[in-house]
Amino acid sequence: MTHTDFMTLAITMASGCKPDDPKTTPCVGAAIALGEEVVALACRGKEDHAEKIALDIAYGRGVDLTQAVVYTTLEPCVGGVRRQRNESCADRLIAAKVKKVVVGIHDPNISVCGKGFLRLQEGRIDTELFPSNLAEQIKRLNRDFILAQQRIGARITSHKNHKDGEFIPIPSGGEIELKGTWTNPPSDGERLCAIVRTGTQWWPQHELKLIAGSTNEWSTVINIGQYGLHIISIGKLNRLGMALFDYYSTVSNVHIRWRADLRRKYSDPHLKLEPSPWIGIELSGSEPPKGIDIEDSICLNVLPPTIPPVTPANQPEGASGSGPRH
């Protein structure tokens, strides 16, 4: 068999994978060759990666792997991605002292991409990539996984225990806490923010902050400045989005100081009932401002505060019946 045959064989093994969720689990195949012979074949299992399974098969056959070439359709994982650091496929390949590793595509996971290659090279193992025509086959096979990994995977999971589309009274102080998770931790310099749409206006909000003690749970504060339907979205900002949000943050701070100055100067009680300090961005249609890639949204219908019914227990003195005395 030829070099190309072994790569094609690894792709064939990958095509046999049947992941429960193709968005979270890739199809990966591996082939180990010694000279012109195949000594082990494997595809990704539910728990173990293809490289690990193939190495175990080769060990079971007593194969000397120091002259072996490993073909894998996806960049080997590195320590910190697996639950136990010593279980990474890159480290297993280094420990086996294989001669060379030929990789189909880089891992699309932003926290892994390129690190598997670097780790193998640090372990003095030759590395090579599949040619582009074969790499395209692997990308088509893992289209859903690649698309999912290119996103942060941020999801809204909680907003004071209210459900999507639920009617809620306007909260005290005009704020609600929004919580959620993300699949892929943002890399350095990446920012995720919340934005609210009411009618044709979009209201930039605050950045998503990692909850202390967690690796994938975030929270943020949403300002509720009026009644009615609110579409709350979270998304990743590109360079344009970062500039937009920074500008509106500056504008909001100016408004906060301006309102505070007015309260001190005039002591006007109505100024206490201020809406969100953010300035709405007027847009036609339902598309968000350019610069933010929406990852998840939720709908809330905000109502005025509920007024408790008049009962004998809370009637004003001298009143009777079901309503106030005129």
104-159: pLDDT as tens digits: 999 987 667 889 999 999 999 999 999 999 999 999 999 988 877 777 778 888 76
- Greater model confidence, 299 or 162: 299
* 311-326: pLDDT as tens digits: 444 444 433 333 322 2
- Of the segments 7-21, 154-168, 213-227, 246-260, which one has the largest average pLDDT value? 7-21
Pairing state between β 191-198 and 201-207: antiparallel
- Report the alpha-carbon distance of residue 23 to residue 128 in Å, rounded: 26
For 85, residues 6+ apart whose C-beta sits below 8 A from its C-beta are 79, 91
Tokens of 28: 């990966």
Give counts: helices (H), strands (E), the chain.
Answer: 7, 15
Residue with tokens 């999507």: 164
- CA–chain centroid gap for 119, Å, is 25
Using the Cα atoms of residue 249, residue 251, residue 255 and residue 261 in order, give the sign of their dihedral: positive
Tokens of 87: 């279980």
Residue type, 282: E
Are residues 73 and 101 in contact, defined by beta-carbon separation less than 8 angstroms? Answer: no
* 56-106: pLDDT as tens digits: 999 999 999 999 999 999 999 988 655 455 579 999 999 999 999 999 999
Are residues 65 and 92 in contact, defined by beta-carbon separation less than 8 angstroms? Answer: no
- Report the alpha-carbon distance of residue 110 to residue 176 in Å, rounded: 31
Residue with tokens 């350095």: 188
166 pLDDT tier (thresholds 50, 70, 90): low
Residue type, 31: A
In this predicted structure, what is the pLDDT of residue 200? 85
Residue-range domains of the chain with CATH? 3-149 (3.40.140.10), 155-303 (2.60.40)
In this predicted structure, what is the pLDDT of residue 172? 57
